[in-house]
């Protein structure tokens, strides 16, 4: 069973709709025991990092998430809170991915970064059969720095990690559930990771 973690920060409708289109059964919950017994977990997120971490803590999910050994996918804020820390609200995060999350910077850019952008230097199972330079949908003001766990990058002002992988943890700064056929392929790839 796929579990979508509900910690009060996710756009659950579009993610649920994507899983329905893929005929993938799922449950939405914040129950630690159900999360532990899942086959894979998705940590969505829309909003602000310090609030997201507060909600994760209030739900008693910090250690639950850190100790998962099944495939876990963090999306947008869901990926950012898997990182070491975030400039947004000066927040210590779950420290599964090594980079810090920093505000987008660059001359002449508008923040938030909202719309379609390209992803490059694709690596790993998440991007099987996804084209280099594919267009995916972003909406964010902060992003992880590049690091040795980056499995794709994107440029908006500076170059940032648009996805990360560390062991069984995966993360995307873009929203695959809002990224059309390519995004659906990425979700399907995650669902098929052994």
Catalytic residue among 48, 88, 134, 177: 177
Residue of 76, 83, 93, 134 marked active site:
76
Q: Which residues pair with 102 in a beta bridge?
A: 143
Inter-CA distances, 97 with 60, 75, 80, 104, 112, Å: 20, 13, 9, 18, 23
Cα–chain center distance at 148 = 17
DSSP codes of every residue in 15-29: HHHHHHHTT--EEEE
| Residue found under tokens 């070491």 | 84
Give the integer Cα–Cα distance in Å for 143 and 5.
Answer: 21
Residue 92 is among the residues annotated as catalytic for this protein: no
**Catalytic-labelled residue, pool 113, 140, 153, 175:** 175
147 part of the active site: no
Is 175 catalytic? The answer is yes
> Which residues are catalytic, by number?
76, 175, 177
């Amino acid at each position: 069973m796929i579990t979508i973690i509900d910690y009060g920060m996710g756009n659950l409708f579009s993610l649920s709709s994507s899983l329905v289109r893929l005929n993938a059964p799922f449950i939405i919950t914040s129950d630690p025991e159900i999360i532990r017994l899942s086959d894979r977990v998705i940590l969505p997120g829309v909003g602000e990092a310090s609030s997201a971490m507060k909600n994760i803590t209030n739900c008693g999910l910090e250690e639950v998430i850190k100790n998962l050994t099944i495939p876990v996918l963090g999306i947008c804020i869901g990926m950012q809170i898997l990182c070491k820390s975030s400039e947004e609200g000066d927040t210590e995060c779950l420290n599964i991915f090594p980079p810090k999350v920093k505000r987008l910077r660059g001359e002449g850019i508008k923040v938030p970064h909202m719309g379609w952008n390209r992803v490059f230097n694709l690596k790993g199972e998440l991007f099987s059969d996804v084209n280099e330079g594919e267009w995916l949908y972003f909406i964010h003001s902060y992003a992880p720095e590049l690091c040795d766990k980056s499995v794709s990058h994107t440029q908006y002002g500076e170059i940032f990690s648009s996805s990360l992988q560390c062991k069984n943890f995966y993360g995307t700064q873009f929203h695959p559930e809002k990224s059309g056929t390519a995004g659906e392929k990425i979700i399907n790839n995650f669902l098929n990771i052994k």
